[in-house]
Structure 1
Amino acid sequence: MSAERRKALRFILLLGLVSLLGDVVYEGVRGAAGPFLASLGASAAVVGAASGLGEFLGYGLRPLSGYLSDRRGGYWGLTLLGYLALLSLPLLCLVGSWQLAVLLLLLERMGKAVRTPPRDAMLSHATWRVGRGWGFGIHEALDQVGAVAGPLLVALLISLRGYRGAFSFLLLPALLLLLFLLLGWRLYPRPSLLERGRGEARVKRGFRPYLLFVVLSTSGFLTFPLLAYRLTSSFSDAEIPLLYALAMGTDALLALWAGRAYDRRGLSSLLLVPLLSLPVAPLAFLAGGKGGGLLAVVLWGASMGVQETVMRAAVGEMVPGGKRGTAYGLFSSLYGLSGFAGNALMGLLYPSPGLLVAFSLSAELLSLPVLLRLRGVEG
């Protein structure tokens, strides 16, 4: 392995550890946020509205963050600012009203919007050295370790120390995260140098049809809360978190495999996204039973692993370095908001499982000709 390749791999691992610790904090609080707000007197309507607004802010502000990171010519400042917002979550241990708690939760979601595009842009420079797919696969796998560990850790701490004791403990991984981030800034002040030698200056023609593919494939993909809501008819409340852990574990394993597949097959590997997503809704809503539900969860996790790896890798391949912050901001915003809109519609269709499944299948199937056109443009 060359010195440049080792250097790039260390950078990917460093940002992977940052994301792992970030998910320990965020995912840990996310699973407990609803019951905690209820304990402060918040109604179900408040909890739902706060969650929806948080997701909207977390995705809707990303194009602005990405544009600013490109315009400023550097990514570290906005990345650090975004991760500093994670400190709002340990502060939940001090609040006495649901209004202040909601404000802190929304602040963290805004921080997520600020940090994600510049972070992914920096990652894309390093992944050029090790393979775009493999690099993003490593990052996603580490990220999912935190996504599994966070809720389990917080659940244990709540049982031992209550909400406030659990949230106060999260200050430790949050500070450790910032330490790793500052170390990365010092060791790699200009991550773009990791991609030195690539002279491409234009956005590839396939980027627009690629974004349409992202919108269609994600709008028909169930979010886990909606999937879990359906699965409560076959599984107990205590089993649902275990199913989520299974999905996240599958996500982590498939991310590494999907990354290798992208490096070998390029955009053809995007076909895995609709193929893995297509059976999820029919298995959950029409097949029924524990067997169908379990298979739906595994396929859901597999599809997530491919999406979080291959889709991000493709952006880095299509867009030159100086425009990647904007590109990642636009990509992740469309990814999140189309999923939000699609699942809002599927939530309305929930009383009619046949219609819900028909919408999900239609969106995934419509993404296939777009993908074929994309391959033709890039080919």
Structure 2
Amino acid sequence: MAQGKSDKSALKFIVILGIVSLCADATYEGARSITGAYLGVLGASGFVVGLVAGLGELIGYCFRLFIGYLSDQTRKYWRITTIGYALNTAVVPLLALAGTWQIAALLMIGERTGKAIRTPPRDVLLSHAALRLGGGFGFGLHEALDQIGAVMGPLAVAAVVYYQGGYQGGFAILLVPAVVGMIVLLIGQRIYPNPRDFEHQTSELTGKGLPRKFWIYLGAVGLMAAGFADFPLIAYHFQTKAVATGNTIPLLYALAMGVDGIAALVFGRLFDHFGISILIVAAVVSSLFAPLVFLSNINLALLGIVLWGIGMGAQESILKAAVAAMVPIEKRGFAFGIFNTGYGLSWFLGSALMGILYDRSINALVVFSIIIQLVAVPILVLVNRHVSRP
């Protein structure tokens, strides 16, 4: 009976963190649905859009290395998470006041920095409850709730942009979910001050360093990240090539986020049954998004957006669950930090290169995206062979 109550509490905890992420995603994903187009309106080039998107990810993900280590050393997971969420969401409404692309770029980077601060300690908190219920399911449920916000935010922004005819109002409305999310976070912290109690450490994972399979896995994930175009570049393409209008671009992003949430639940469950092998399937499927998004009309571009969402959902549910299962509990924050840093560095290099390729040859961008994602497949096969061995 106690076991059932504990499982129920773990589920409630995941839902609370999911609601926090829902509000946060409504805030910053709502903004990200139009930042690419917004930068274009403010005079930025395709290279600048790709560079800003990649640089924000680079700074944010690299900072996670330090934050992950700091979290494990201080054990102040809740405090650091709260600081991160506050910064992550507070700067978004300020985009309404940005008069140049340079100021908008700095605010976008500030938002990514806030996300960097809160992600490693938040993932550690979440992992305790997720591993009790099933890592794939736990992280997948959190991602699904997260993506509800990622759908609501762009839809709200699309409505405001449509009725007001400008981007500033779209950014300003995002103050509402930012405030609600912080309130729920503080309540959750009071109810569950020690989430580590959810997890029974039955694993025999030991050692001074992180296991070899972790590093191999990180290499494969880095290739996937490098070939996965960030949405601001996709939005820039849709606007500059008249594939979609400024009013419909946020709706396309909302579609992608909805698919992301569903895919996270599905692939999370599949991961609990089949392990990392299911990520291989996701990598192959998502590699097809680039030609559909960048070389097609709006009808095929919609299919490309769906495949892009599937890839994001699979990555968000599987990648973190696999890391949590690979490393000892006392090194989990640092492992998440290293993992996110490697992922972000790859994302930055890939985004910057795709921004350059876009200005020179869209066909070259598409070829690069497909090939580098498929190169990750044989490495994932190797990881799958090592996953049952220390």
Identity among equivalent pairs (%): 47
- Counterpart of 1:378? 387
Deviations along 1:119-167, one digit per CA (max 9) or x if unpaired, are 1111111101111111111111111111111122134345359766655
Matches of residues 87-126 of structure 1 in structure 2 within 5 Å? 87-91=90-94, 103-126=106-129
- Counterpart of 1:205? 212
Per the alignment, in what secondary structure is the counterpart of residue 200 of structure 1? coil
**Take 2:73 and 2:190, find their aligned partners in 1: how far apart are those partners?**
22
Q: TM-score scaled by structure 2? A: 0.86
- Indicate whether 1:236 and 2:244 are aligned: yes
Alpha-carbon RMSD: 2.9
**Take 1:92 and 1:283, find their aligned partners in 2: how far apart are those partners?**
31
Q: Tell me, which stretches of 5 or more residues in structure 1 are unaligned?
A: none
- Counterpart of 1:226? 233
Q: Is the 8 A contact 1:20 1:147 kept in 2?
A: yes
Q: Tell me, which stretches of 5 or more residues in structure 2 are unaligned?
A: none
Q: Is the 8 A contact 2:57 2:347 kept in 1?
A: no
- Indicate whether 1:325 and 2:333 are aligned: yes
- Counterpart of 1:216? 223
Identify the match of residue 59 of structure 1 among 41, 58, 61: 61
Q: Is the 8 A contact 2:227 2:373 kept in 1?
A: yes
Matches of residues 1-379 of structure 1 in structure 2 within 5 Å? 2-33=4-35, 43-44=43-44, 48=49, 51-85=53-87, 86-91=89-94, 103-158=106-161, 159-160=163-164, 167-202=171-206, 203-231=210-238, 233=241, 235-237=243-245, 238-285=247-294, 288-350=296-358, 351-379=360-388
Displacement after TM superposition at 1:181 (Å): 1.0
Count of aligned residue pairs for this structure pair: 376
1:24 is matched by which residue type in structure 2? Answer: A
Residues 113 and 17 of structure 1, relative CA distance in 2, 3 Å threshold: same
Q: TM-score scaled by structure 1? A: 0.88
Q: Is the 8 A contact 1:4 1:129 kept in 2?
A: no
Residues 296 and 89 of structure 1, relative CA distance in 2, 3 Å threshold: closer
1:26 is matched by which residue type in structure 2? Answer: Y
Q: Is the 8 A contact 1:226 1:347 kept in 2?
A: yes
Using the TM superposition, name which of 120-129 and 46-55 deviates more: 46-55
Q: Is the 8 A contact 1:234 1:290 kept in 2?
A: no
Q: Is the 8 A contact 2:233 2:355 kept in 1?
A: yes
Q: Is the 8 A contact 1:231 1:293 kept in 2?
A: no
**Take 2:34 and 2:234, find their aligned partners in 1: how far apart are those partners?**
18
**Take 2:235 and 2:39, find their aligned partners in 1: how far apart are those partners?**
21
Deviations along 1:80-119, one digit per CA (max 9) or x if unpaired, are 1101112233455677887766554443321111001111
1:270 is matched by which residue type in structure 2? Answer: L
Per the alignment, in what secondary structure is the counterpart of residue 229 of structure 2? coil
Displacement after TM superposition at 1:334 (Å): 1.8
Q: Is the 8 A contact 2:35 2:232 kept in 1?
A: no
**Take 1:188 and 1:127, find their aligned partners in 2: how far apart are those partners?**
14
Deviations along 1:305-329, one digit per CA (max 9) or x if unpaired, are 1011111110111011111111111
